Amino acid sequence: IYLYDSPEVRRSDYVFTVSGDSMEPEFYDGDMVLVKKGGDMDYGDIGAFIIGNETYIKEYAEDGLHSLNKKYPTMTFCEEEKVFSIGKVVSVLDPELIATETDAKNYVAVHGE
């Protein structure tokens, strides 16, 4: 994915697509979110996490990972389970920031990436 320049894009490293309604009303199914890799997470931060072979967008809390939609239970883990923090969610990606196919091709032609 190629994105036009913006402060949010410059602060982020990854783009993930939200799947499902567990993070509504802040993040909706199909939203694309910008994520800044690494860094310390504070309780209350929204982050991207890898659990098993799945990536989740959740609120980091002392007792586990929370969904914003209250119909979902808190995700808790035992010591044997591996949970990796990818980073903090910066914002929902504005669709206007997704580069057109023509602009992306022109960028690659000029910059060779």
> pLDDT tens string for the chain (113 positions)?
889 999 999 999 999 999 999 999 999 999 999 999 987 899 999 999 999 889 999 999 999 999 999 999 999 988 888 899 999 999 999 999 999 888 888 877 788 76
Residue 49: per-residue pLDDT = 95
CA distances from residue 20 to 30, 31, 40, 69, 108 in whole angstroms, order as listed: 8, 10, 26, 10, 33
Q: Whole-prediction pTM value?
A: 0.86
* 3-class secondary structure, 15: strand
| Residue 21 pLDDT | 97
pLDDT at 48: 97
